[in-house]
Chains A and B, each alone.
Chain A
Amino acid sequence: MSDFAGMEDLLQDFLTEASELLSEVDNKLVELEKRPQDRGLLNDIFRGFHTIKGGAGFLNVDSLVSLCHRTENLFDKLRNGELPLSPELLDVILAATASVRDMFGYMTQARLPGAADPALLAQLEAALAGETPAPLAVQAAAPAAVVTDVVATTAAEPVTLPVDASQLSTHQPGASEPDWATLLKVLTGEPILAAAAAASVKQASTPPAAALATTPLDIVAPLPAAEAPPMTAALAPAHLETSAGDEAKAVPAQSLRPSPAPAKGGAPQQLATQETTIRIDTVRLDQVLNLSGEIGLTKNRLTTLRTDILAGRTDANTLRAMDEAVSQLDLLVSDLQNAVMKTRMQPIGRLFQKYPRLARDLARQLGKDVELVINGEETELDKTMIEDLNDPLVHLVRNAVDHGIEVPADRIAAGKPPKCLVQLTATQVGDHILIEISDDGRGMRPDVIRRKAIEKGLIDMETANSLDEKQSLQLIFLPGFSTKDQISSVSGRGVGMDVVKTNIQKLNGRIDIVSVVGEGSRFSISLPLTLAILPVLVVKVCNQPFAVPLAMVREIIPIRTEAIQEVSGRATIVVRDEILAVRSLASLIGWTEERPPSFGVLMQSAEHSFVLAIDSFVGRDDVVIKPLQNIRPRGIAGATLSGDGSVVLVLDMEDLLETNYEETSEALKPRALID
């Protein structure tokens, strides 16, 4: 049931535009913290809330109107100098922004959000009246964010609250004890009836205990705001911190146990639904239209020529005209492909703009002083890739703030300025996009990383000793790796970096690390511009064509059987003094070779190079991958059609190599040597 019947289009427009606006407001709030007197900023933020209020009015979302109205009034006083901006006030404002975002979350699900948390409204009123807002529930926002995040990422297992309550109360003098006790109990899965009742001692009603009693994961959903305001207040802003993917993970967990939707307020279960609409510059759409028009004309020309040729007219002029028309079509179609691709391109800034607030909140919570500087936000990337990049980037930003940089005292001791610089940069390099996250923190020590990997049983001593510094840094991408001895509440669960790497690889991308001890670390992500069109090399084995991503191909070499040598049980070949493993494509896909391979494709995957042995090759091609329906064979990314109309399977090399590491060398060895 939609609460916005008849207004769905308008709602969609509003949410898209207002969410962008809200992200801008968020960033300006972070800026405002640095320059509290900046009238331009105050004006912009005022206008942001004002505009959202105006739109919400037309959608009849009274709760949003009233929240924005109060916040807007506050900014009106701030910009007129009637009120000073105190850190406490800024906290209230940030909580209000979070609450607005929560309401957007409700509206995304076509539900009318309930009134904002009364405590928040009261604080806004108090601030408007010129009183210093009492630091109560809102202060608990930041640590609560961490808690929800942990809940979200660890899915079904019960979690213990990884933050010491006493430590918290020193950080958060205002957080009242019962709330934290309640939160702890909820998260550890203990029945919280008594605790929750204690928390809402001043309220008339008691929470419906059944819904709250057991599952820790349900905490986000079924806590009606009216009944337990301090807790809901603590959880609501948390959603600012949790990334889209985290929430997506949290959803199945919640759906295991259908929970009653809260009647009013509270935090929505899921804020991040995938955007299904896109905003496109009309110039780009016109281009698509023009090109399809021209293709239509060329098609007409071809139809006429076909009639001519079928009628037996095959003189030189007709054939030349035919050749011209086909060439023109060729050109137009590739132009059209490019133009269509461009309509999917979006500036990456839409993603980046969420991170300064993320970094600021996290840094504040950890007692660090961080400035996140963003460059190249206008760089464009395929829309789907932008969405899929959010998770890895959130993790890398958190990682930089949590692990990468030092606390101010350590920095001063090391002779660095107390304020850290984390830089997030996007640039287009050729047909690739390069995204870099660098910090000027303590850097990573290869020896420490190696030792940790051995301690955790991820690698053995022998392997560790054979790794150079660069390879050692790569160890952090192993599942289960975490260098912090104590699991920190922020990013130390060791569930992150391997997921980051897998996600980047899914986008046909690469991630590299450069780190200098004492000076900082830099993570570089290299991505193709789009996933829609993939340049491939078509190779043949056993007379069947296969496509491999061209991005991985370094060169093609002829292979003589006698050049293949066995080194420690593996087939290898020497290419310009470099010893490379030889993997036969036929055996990788589980076939038997009909004859010894004639060619090798020198391929570069994430960490290593190898030679893929094939029978012959057809050439390069730009293909559109069609995913296979219902079946997912190992190592096959999808299928495409070749120029002659036959089906070509596109290989997923990483997958193929991972599943076949041992068998390959075994399978190749005897045959290659016997033949």
Chain B
Amino acid sequence: MSDKNMRFLVVDDFSTMRRIVRNLLKELGFTNVDEAEDGQVALHKLKNGQFEFVVTDWNMPNMSGIELLKAIRADASLKHLPVMMITAEAKKENIIEAATAGASGYIVKPFTAATLDEKLNKIFQNMNK
């Protein structure tokens, strides 16, 4: 259903977490993954590379995940990109904030490959609509 060659950008300031997400994506068959350590680096990479999916942490120095999301939605060449937010909080106001800013999905740490798969598929379905 989904293209396994899809190019992902995983954004997190904690490299262990990037590795976790990367491994989980690999488990689901997505191997074309690049990493960025904060929103600024991510935005730079997005503008220069052909990425098709962004998975970003919320809380990061320099540029947070929500700022990155807003920047992506404000950029004509990037605004179509699906962006999934990873966060440690399942607070309602956080989810609302992410949704209003245009997040395609939302996943709460810690999560398993199965949860990630489910969330990704939901996003893919919405994209195909």
Contact = CB atoms under 8 A, between A and B. Distances in A.
Determine the interface band of chain A, counting residues with CB < 8 A from chain B. Answer: 10 to 19
A18 B17 CA distance: 11
A44 B13 CA distance: 12
Interface string B12-26: 011111011001000
A51 B20 contact: no
Contacts of A60: 110
Nearest to B87: A54
- Secondary structure dominating the interface of A: helix
A13 B16 contact: yes
B16 A55 contact: yes
B61 A54 contact: no
Interface in A13-38: 13-14, 17-18, 21
B88 interface: yes
Nearest to B57: A54
A32 B88 CA distance: 25
B17 A54 contact: yes
Contacts of B88: 50, 53-54, 57
B59 interface: yes
A57 B16 contact: no
A60 B111 CA distance: 10
B15 A13 contact: yes
Determine the interface band of chain B, counting residues with CB < 8 A from chain A. Answer: 10 to 19
Given A47-B61, A50-B59, A53-B88, A58 B15 contact: no
Contacts of B44: none
Contacts, number: 43
Interface of B: 13-17, 19-20, 23, 57, 59-61, 88, 109-110
Contacts of B16: 10, 13-14, 17-18, 55
10 contacts: A10-B16, A10-B19, A10-B23, A47-B13, A47-B61, A51-B14, A51-B17, A54-B57, A57-B88, A58-B17
For the complex of A and B, 8 pairs with smallest distance between CB atoms: A57-B110, A58-B110, A13-B16, A14-B16, A51-B14, A54-B109, A17-B16, A54-B88
Given A13-B19, A44-B61, A58-B20, A51 B109 contact: no
A103 to B, nearest CB: 16
A366 to B, nearest CB: 35
Contacts of B19: 10, 13
Interface in A57-72: 57-58, 60
Contacts of A58: 17, 20, 109-110
A17 B18 CA distance: 12
